[in-house]
Amino acid sequence: MSKLKLIIHREFVAKVRNKSFIVMTFLSPLIMVGMITLVVFLMRKNDEKAKDIVYVDNSGLFEKTDFEDTESIKYTDFTALGIIETKKHVEEGSYYGVLYIPKKDSLEILASAVEFYSKDSPGLSLMNTLENKVETKLRNKKLTNLGIDLEQIKASKINTDIKMFNFSGEESSKLINGLKIGVGAIAGYLLMMFVMIYGTSVMRSVIEEKTSRIIEIIVSSVKPFQLMLGKIIGNASAGLLQFFIWGILLFVILSVVSAVFGVDVSEMQANSVSSEQLDAVKNASSGDKMQLIIQEILRLPILKLFVLFIFYFLGGFMLYSSLFAAVGAAVDNETDTQQFMLPIMLPLILGVYVGFATVMNAPHGAVAVLFSYIPFTSPIVMLMRVPFGVSWTELAISMALLLVTFVFMVWLAAKIYRVGILMYGKKATYKDLYKWLKY
Amino acid sequence: MHSKLQKSYACIVNFNRILKWKLLILKVINTFKICKFVFIRYSKEINQKLMKNLLEINNVVKKYGDFTALNDVTIHIPKGSVYGLLGPNGAGKTSLIRIINQITLPDAGSIILDGEKLAAHHIEQIGYLPEERGLYKSMKVGEQALYLAQLKGLSKAEAKKRLHYWFDKFDISAWWGKKIEALSKGMAQKVQFIVTVMHNPKLLIFDEPFSGFDPINAQLIANEILQLRDNGATIIFSTHRMESVEEMCDEIALINKSNKILDGKLEDIKRAFKTNTFQVGLKTANPKEVEDALKENFKVTPADFKLLHKGLALNVQLNENSSANDLLTFLTSRGEVQHFVELIPSANDIFIQAIHKNN
């Protein structure tokens, strides 16, 4: 037992002291926040400059009021100048482009005859705006021609908003549904990343021991199984440490953000936001939207999510990293690992895809439930489902299956590992691995 | 009435008697148990003291799939000896060493270490320097040595104490905080040697211990190994360098193609392999005549050593019924004997001969 502790300690220290670990742990959340800030900043910057657009309306259908300036587009009427002159003028001047509405016999022909000239290719959103503008105008024109009163159509418009409740009487909003998807997806994706990063780290550590030839000295002191287990647990602890640090950093950042937007965090945690409050917030200005989102995040079963994340992380990690360890033992260097990596990566990636494809639409559908039972995908898929509320029986089945499989896989991998670590200079095949199982 | 009383009295007496007997029997059994306990305890100690062999490998078989790596190998290694484990590449030496180290388990056969069946706790009594060896490259020398010592069951404080002793002895204390990757191969080998011996194991296994060392350091290590033997350790020594076998080994075993083909004291083996051949050098007036006379009684072949004076130089093999003295008498009667040496086979000769014969 104390030997296992020694190994865990060494592996943990070796991992944590690694420069890349330190950089990943402290820098990546900052980089993430920085990148998001940068993207938001750039998007704003990008939109800041309004585009000057001139229009030439030969059809005479449009009025001055149809071309109202917005934040991003400014319109100028150049109809008087004529299209040829305008084009020349715009090409030399500082205007962005020309919208040309020719005179046509019918609205149908006109609909596909409108042209837009610009110096560079315009963005999608600009084109959408212009197309919408022209389309609305032409539709209205046509409706008037057909003798339909525009006022009547306006009056007939109804905004529908279905409010969602669960049976415990809590109102849930569409926003929270989106949040659930988001939180589940992040948790599942994070888990996959962790398993991959730390799994390959276990594998690399096994290969290092093989290539540095220390392995024979170590296994003359401890059992290969102890060494493998120590390695896995050591790396898992390093992973958990990293996760905790990220969690704390996230909490700090969240606190800062909520302080900036004036949300009382302690009140949120009481989970007692009434629906009136929610409505009030919903109807408030857009600055308070952030507040609403934070409120909704805090309404999720955070503790349950957290505990389950730890469980599925450990379970999934143990399951996969024992396979990674076996692969590391079977090869002499990292380039040889590829043939064995695919079968390990496949279920992981499948888990993420199945999660994204099924859980979003039907979190309790047959496929989603099935994949949250299969131990190779359950850590990811189940984590994605958890925010939508999964019954304890389902959780228990999934967890039990994961535990049983993990014990079996560790046993199986240990057999390959035991033989593989002492085999040098031979590229193992699947046949070899099968043979080693029987030694 | 009376008889009834008597009867009941008799019954009580009877009962008493039975009780007494029972107590007596119990006493005897107890004494016997104590005796047995004492006997087992002391016999174990006596057994260990009397045991000539530290390690007994009995009828060990190891198979990898269809391939037999060790076929019914029996080797007994006496306490306090340097035991040479020899054999060509792929003969099964490493398999045997791994079995002794409990890295792999034998398919059949038993291994007795110091009177006990080999078990997990014996790991602490064995030190192993494998042929394929290395250390964690990015770990510091001191930390690494401490870690490996602790894996061998030493406490951290004890490990530190012993490490300092060895580091001072080899004059390498300055390396404590260096990473292994910063050391040369020879330097790393020294650390490796220390790590192997530092837990004072009863049994030390060295597989090619001198590879990577310059002659000076190789001699240092060789002396260190002999010192360890003198302090009571038993050493298994596997190498392809026959001159170091000659220099260090008390006994050897030769393994070829998974079988042990030869074992015993090095002197005994040499005696068994010697052909009673002598190199002789004779100062004489008429060598031709002497050579012909020799050929009548002995088997004579030309020799290629150099004599200081001109004369006869020959290899002479004795017959079954002649002795070295007969030859010497014959030679002294014919001239002046300058050179008379028995040809004793070297470990190298024995190795090559035995393997050829076996193949």
Confidence of residue B277 (pLDDT cuts 50, 70, 90): confident
Of A9-18, A54-63, A114-123, B15-24, minimum mean pLDDT range: B15-24
Taking the C-alpha atoms of residue B317 and residue B279, their distance in angstroms, rounded to an integer, is 9
pLDDT at A279: 46
Confidence of residue B111 (pLDDT cuts 50, 70, 90): very high
Nearest chain A CA: its distance from B347 CA (Å): 29
Of A42-46, A75-79, A283-287, A404-408, minimum mean pLDDT range: A283-287
Q: Is A283 on the interface with B (CB under 8 A)?
A: no
Total Cβ atoms within 10 A of residue A6: 20
Taking the C-alpha atoms of residue A339 and residue A345, their distance in angstroms, rounded to an integer, is 11
Check residue A50 and report its DSSP letter. P
Q: Which domains does chain A have, with CATH numbers?
A: 50-146 (3.40.190.10), 172-268+298-438 (no CATH)
Q: Do A6 and B101 touch (CB under 8 A)?
A: no
Total Cβ atoms within 10 A of residue A430: 11
Average pLDDT over residues A384-389: 83
Between positions 49 and 68 of B, the ones with CB within 8 A of A are 64-65
Confidence of residue A278 (pLDDT cuts 50, 70, 90): very low
Q: Do A214 and B136 touch (CB under 8 A)?
A: yes
Measured CA angle at B96 (ends B94, B99), to 5 deg: 110
Q: Do A214 and B133 touch (CB under 8 A)?
A: yes
pLDDT at B318: 85
The answer to whether the pTM exceeds 0.90 is: no
Q: Do A422 and B134 touch (CB under 8 A)?
A: no
Name which of A213, A219, A220 is nearest B134 (Cβ-Cβ).
A213
Residue A219: its chain B contacts at CB < 8 A? 101, 103
Taking the C-alpha atoms of residue A337 and residue A427, their distance in angstroms, rounded to an integer, is 10
Pairing, β A51-57 against β B251-256: unpaired
Nearest chain B CA: its distance from A411 CA (Å): 17
Taking the C-alpha atoms of residue B148 and residue B180, their distance in angstroms, rounded to an integer, is 14
Q: Closest Cα to residue A78, out of A113, A54, A107?
A: A54
β-sheet bridge partners, residue A100: A56, A115
**Residue whose tokens read 């093999």:** B317
Collapse the DSSP code of B111 into the 3-class scheme (helix H, G, I; strand E, B; otherwise coil) and give the result: strand
Where does B60-214 have alpha helices with state H?
93-100, 141-151, 156-169, 185-197
Average pLDDT over residues A264-273: 43
Residue B102: its chain A contacts at CB < 8 A? 220
Q: Is A219 on the interface with B (CB under 8 A)?
A: yes
Q: Do A439 and B65 touch (CB under 8 A)?
A: yes
| B42-81: pLDDT as tens digits | 666 666 556 688 999 999 999 887 888 899 999 999 999 9
Residue B104: its chain A contacts at CB < 8 A? 422
pLDDT at B58: 92
Higher pLDDT, A269 or A182: A182
Q: Which amino acid is at A309?
A: F
Is the separation of the CB atoms in A68 and A88 below 8 Å? Answer: no
Nearest chain A CA: its distance from B77 CA (Å): 20
Q: Is B151 on the interface with A (CB under 8 A)?
A: yes
Average pLDDT over residues A358-377: 85
Average pLDDT over residues A174-186: 76
Q: Is A216 on the interface with B (CB under 8 A)?
A: yes
pLDDT at B86: 92
What is the interface pTM, i.e. ipTM, of the complex? Answer: 0.73
Size of interface A-B (CB pairs under 8 A): 63
Q: Do B134 and A212 touch (CB under 8 A)?
A: yes
Task: Provide φ and ψ at A324, rounded to 5°.
Answer: -60, -40
Of A94-103, A273-282, A308-317, B88-97, minimum mean pLDDT range: A273-282
Q: List the single best residue of B66, B68, B89, B132 to mutate versus A (max A Cβ within 10 A).
A: B132
Q: Do A214 and B134 touch (CB under 8 A)?
A: yes
Is the separation of the CB atoms in A62 and A77 below 8 Å? Answer: no
Q: Do A220 and B138 touch (CB under 8 A)?
A: no
Confidence of residue A271 (pLDDT cuts 50, 70, 90): very low
Q: Is A171 on the interface with B (CB under 8 A)?
A: no
Contacts of A158 (CB under 8 A, 6+ apart): none
pLDDT at A339: 83
